[in-house]
Amino acid sequence: MARIAYDEGDAAAFETNRHLSGDGLSAWREAVGRHLDPHPGQRLLDLGSGTGSWARAFTAWFHGVEVLAVEPSAAMRARSVYLPVIAGHAARVPVVDGVVDAVWMSTVIHHVPDLTAAAHELRRVVRPGAPVLIRSVFAGRHDGIGLVRFFPEAAAVLDTYPSVEDVEAAFAAAGFRTVALERVAQTTAASLPEAVAMLRRDAHTPLKLISDEAYDAGLVRLRNAAATEPGPVVDTLDLLVLR
């Protein structure tokens, strides 16, 4: 089971708060392009596609790439900006063996209850040598996440996420090896005031899992900083690539 339910409220918050644009998307297009080798007819599995923003981006970026969007949450599927999107999850991907040329998992890995089962399922569906690209915050590697500055209690939640080593071990058991681990800096918001205006607690797993008191205190810190600090909000996440 995922760490949060992703019910209608979560899906609505995610829809309004977690879609990158502009420079944020450009950074990921460049990073993904280094490992994906996109070409017409390529079939990419967007596993845990959420409200469809990444599936939509891939089809816009890479002409002729076919995206298979798979999402376990009915509320997320109902709000998807990309169609079709089908029900499924990391341990049960509803496709036949060996038909996937690449896998994309964005901020999903910490919701997977059995990493080894997921790795074996992906080994089943991908072609030999196909890359699995995992965009995530991993345990012990959250120093580039700006929200932690204002909500320090969120760091303890992030440290319960799988580590890079946890993921590598699970995928190694299914025959995958790591080929790259890089940090990608994305522009999350044009400014702190914009970040404040956009913030929805339900869209961020670490913020949902801290206490109400910790969240309220962090919100005060964020608003105070927004009143005095100019410039964009830049966060750094990891891209782990396995084959």
Q: Is the pTM value of this prediction over 0.95?
A: no
Query: Which pLDDT does position 1 carry in this prediction?
Result: 43
Kindly state the average pLDDT of the residues 24-40.
Answer: 93
Please state the φ and ψ torsions of residue 240, each to the nearest 5 degrees: -105, 125
Query: Which pLDDT does position 12 carry in this prediction?
Result: 59
- Closest C-alpha among 159, 199, 176, 73 to residue 116: 176
For domain 8-144+158-188+234-242, which architecture applies?
3-Layer(aba) Sandwich (3.40)
- Mean pLDDT, the chain, whole residue set: 93
3-state secondary structure of 71: coil
Domain parsing of the chain, residue ranges: 8-144+158-188+234-242
CB 120 within 8 A of CB 97: no
- Strands 233-242 and 178-189 turn out to be antiparallel
Question: Does the pLDDT at position 58 exceed 70?
Answer: yes
Question: Does the pLDDT at position 119 exceed 90?
Answer: yes
Kindly state the average pLDDT of the residues 224-243.
Answer: 95
Query: Which pLDDT does position 20 carry in this prediction?
Result: 77
Query: Which pLDDT does position 4 carry in this prediction?
Result: 55
Chain segment 130-184, per-residue pLDDT in tens? 999 999 999 999 999 999 999 999 999 999 999 999 999 999 999 999 999 999 9
- CA-CA-CA-CA torsion for 222, 227, 228, 231, nearest 10 degrees? 80
Question: Does the pLDDT at position 46 exceed 50?
Answer: yes
Q: How confident is the model at residue 17 (pLDDT cuts 50, 70, 90)?
A: low
